[in-house]
Amino acid sequence: MPPETPPWWTRAVVYQVYPRSFADSDGDGIGDLGGILQRLDHLADLGVDVLWLSPVYPSPQADNGYDISDYQGIDPLFGTLEQLDELIAALHARGMKLLMDLVVNHTSDAHPWFEESRASRTSAKRDWYWWRPPRPGFAAGEPGAEPTNWQSFFSGPVWELDEASGEYYLHLFDRRQPDLNWENPQVRQAVYEMMRWWLDRGVDGFRMDVINMISKDLQGMDGAEDGHLHDGPPIPGTSLGDGSASYLCGPRIHEFLAEMHREVFAGRDGALLTVGEMPGVTVEQARLFTDPDRAEVDMVFQFEHVGLDHGTSKWDLRPLRMRDLKASFGRWQTGLADVGWNSLYWDNHDQPRAVSRFGDDSPEFRRDSATCLATLLHLHRGTPYVYQGEELGMANFPFTSLEQFRDVESLNHHVQAVSAGSDPGEVLTALRAMSRDNARTPVQWDASPNAGFTTGTPWLAVNPDHLEWNAAAQRDDDRSVLAHYRRLIALRHSDDVVALGDFTMLLPEHDDVYAFTRALGDDELLVVCNLSPTAYRLAELLPEAPAAELVLGNLDDDDPAELRPWEARVLRLP
């Protein structure tokens, strides 16, 4: 049952801006706040409610801003604090909200906190990060001397030796992203203070980067805390281990998030939003995180559906099986039906482009598959997230050589894999399919050189397909991907059943057709999406469908009895 007054975000759609690649106002080839301010009409025209801004804080840009060296400023690369204030005001004037990216599992190694921490073993901030001596019996720097065997998300060990003090520091991501020690209450208070400062400035909430990794498990085999971090199971083919059991949803994670809520959000007026990015989170845990009575976060980003087309490593590609996707989405819809809330996404700055990955980006089906995937996602129960360019049907980049990549994860992986004996051609094939740079090529505004993104040289090449696939070409075209997103967003705003209706999966075993109902009171929608190039007789699959009223479809009117390749229909049952 929906609550009496559902929170505002149950009918909201969020749009993610990755500022580096959105719009460049000063010709340096890197997107900036000025560029975003110039393009706000695009967001207003789309009808989105919230802008989630990926990091714009001062940063050495080792991980494009997810390595922050000052939490309370703006990197000159992106603009000024005054422009950020201007952005808040401009969004609010249009009825939109601003969601800031909060990256507090780690800082940059150039953050003054880390510089002070690393200065000496007796530094007052030593304990703000995870410093550990070499493994007993090993000398610092010797292979295998790392305090645990954990593998970093960005290849290699999670430990980096600081020669000066002879100790290692922990970094779950790049070595220039040291993990903060959330066990230390001073760290937590410093973070909360910074968050309050942003809210006081007018921002409307936070997307919290890898927030389920902030609590590390310090328990030994007997379950008692021994102050040590422990080895994880070995990863076949490497000398490293999987430490995730020690840092995904660790023992104090709920305590920390509840404390953050009390210290930062409780008692504040205004319609705020918190979303926790949580790799590896299960439905059961997500129920706890998003249970309003527990007051932790409003919703989480889960990763199950973006893990179905590869093995344990994202570079180990596998075909997606439709029944796996249905089982996964279905479980999340059911698991968060009565308690909690889902966030819905195909794309973000870390994922390859959905139309290339789950759709068909060939000229024949690109538009239809992009709109079909959008319909499927936006008709689920939860808050949909649109990643910049997704609303234009932007596709993966035709990478042909290593020199074209910029992403630290991709580059580290290439070095690691090739030195471990992998065939460079095969590594390139995996990068081409899965690299985060696929999502990071500049937004395609028009057909001009550099797609209207910059007057300078773009930091990452513009996709050559921008001549055909761009915002200007789609704005007034009623059949465009953009127009379809506009309609989907409007439908969520206007139709209670889209925002709040109960979800029931149909045809769980079907290999191509994804179908479900949404019901609220007497109102029932049937959603049918053909995720394949094969046509189906609709009546044979869903006898009630052909006679139902069409609310929204992605193809022009035709035979109601046939479900064409990549066709999506939202139908209202009598």
Q: How far is the CB of 326 from ligand TEU (least distance, A)?
A: 23
Residue 63 in contact with ligand TEU, rule: CB under 6 A: yes
Interface residue with ligand TEU among 52, 66, 346, 445 (CB under 6 A) is 66
* Site for ligand TEU contains 409 (CB under 6 A): yes
Task: State the minimum distance, in angstroms, from the CB of residue 438 to ligand TEU.
Answer: 11
Residue among 316 and 549 whose Cβ is closer to ligand TEU: 316
Q: How far apart are CB 272 and ligand TEU at their closest, in Å?
A: 21
Output the residue with the shortest Cβ distance to ligand TEU. Answer: 66
Q: 113 or 514, CB closer to ligand TEU?
A: 113
| Using rule CB under 6 A, residue 60 touches ligand TEU | no
Tell me whether residue 210 or residue 417 sits nearer to ligand TEU (CB atom).
Answer: 210
Identify how many contiguous H helices and E strands the chain contains and give both numbers: 18, 18
Q: Does 315 bind ligand TEU (CB under 6 A)?
A: no
Please, which residue, 315 or 445, has the CB nearer to ligand TEU? Answer: 315
In whole angstroms, the minimum distance from the beta carbon of 207 to ligand TEU comes to: 9
Q: Kindly tell me which of 412 and 517 has the beta carbon lying closer to ligand TEU.
A: 412
Strand 159-162 versus strand 167-170 pairing type? antiparallel
Strand partners, 299: 275
Annotated catalytic sites, by residue?
209, 277
Q: Which of 171, 165, 168 is nearest to 412 (CA)?
A: 171
Q: Within positions 414 to 473, which residues make up the interface with ligand TEU, using CB under 6 A?
A: 436
Both tokens of residue 320? Answer: 């997606």
Shortest distance, position 173 Cβ to ligand TEU, whole Å? 4
User: In whole angstroms, what is the distance from residue 142 CA to residue 135 CA?
Assistant: 10
Count the Cβ atoms, other than its own, within 10 Å of residue 309.
20
Structure-derived torsion over alpha carbons of residues 148, 153, 157, 158, reported in degrees to the nearest 10: -60
Residue 211, judged by CB atoms within 10 A of its CB (0-12, 13-18, 19+), counts as buried
Instruction: Kindly tell me which residue out of 29, 47, 133, 279 binds ligand TEU, with binding defined by CB under 6 A.
Output: 279
6 contacts 43 by C-beta, under 8 angstroms: no
Residue from 167, 350, 512, 524 touching ligand TEU (CB under 6 A): that is: 350
Contact 549, 523 (CB under 8 A): no
Would you say 14 and 168 are in contact if contact means Cβ atoms under 8 Å apart? no
Measured between alpha carbons, how far is 546 from 540 in angstroms, rounded to an integer?
Answer: 10
Q: Shortest gap between Cβ of 530 and ligand TEU (angstroms)?
A: 29
Strands (E), 395-522: 502-506, 513-520
- 103 scored as a contact of ligand TEU (CB under 6 A): yes
For ligand TEU, give the closer residue by CB, 347 or 465: 347
Hey, how many other C-beta atoms are within 10 angstroms of the C-beta on 363? 9
E-only strand ranges, 285-378: 299-301, 343-344
- Residue 289 as a binder of ligand TEU (CB under 6 A): the answer is no
* Residues 524-553 within binding reach of ligand TEU (CB under 6 A): none
Decide whether 326 or 436 has the Cβ nearer to ligand TEU: 436
Interface with ligand TEU includes 209 (CB under 6 A)? yes
Closer CB to ligand TEU, 409 or 495, in the complex? 409
Closer CB to ligand TEU, 10 or 246, in the complex:
246
Task: Find out whether 43 and 307 touch, Cβ atoms under 8 Å.
Answer: no
Nearest residue to 462 (alpha-carbon basis) of 432, 436, 442: 442
Q: Judge residue 24's burial from the number of C-beta atoms within 10 Å of its C-beta, 0-12 exposed, 13-18 middle, 19 or more buried.
A: buried
Q: What share of the chain is helix, strand, coil (3-state, %, to 5)?
A: 35, 15, 50
List the one residue out of 243, 406, 416, 173 whose CA is nearest residue 315. Answer: 416
Query: CB of residue 440 vs ligand TEU: minimum separation in angstroms?
Result: 10
- Counting contacts by CB under 6 A, is residue 182 touching ligand TEU? no
Contact map string, positions 107 to 146, toward ligand TEU, x by CB under 6 A:
----------------------------------------
Q: How many CB atoms lie within 10 A of CB 136?
A: 7
Secondary structure (DSSP) of 174-188: -TTSPBB-TTSHHHH
CB of 63 to ligand TEU, least distance (A): 5
By CB under 6 A, tell whether 158 contacts ligand TEU: no
Does the protein bind ligand TEU through residue 314 (CB under 6 A)?
Answer: yes
Q: Which residue has the tokens 């759609």?
A: 13
Binding of ligand TEU by 104 (CB under 6 A): no
Is residue 153 a contact residue for ligand TEU (CB under 6 A)?
Answer: yes
CB of 103 to ligand TEU, least distance (A): 6
Give the residues lining the site for ligand TEU (CB under 6 A).
63, 66, 103, 153, 173, 209-210, 279, 314, 349-350, 409, 436
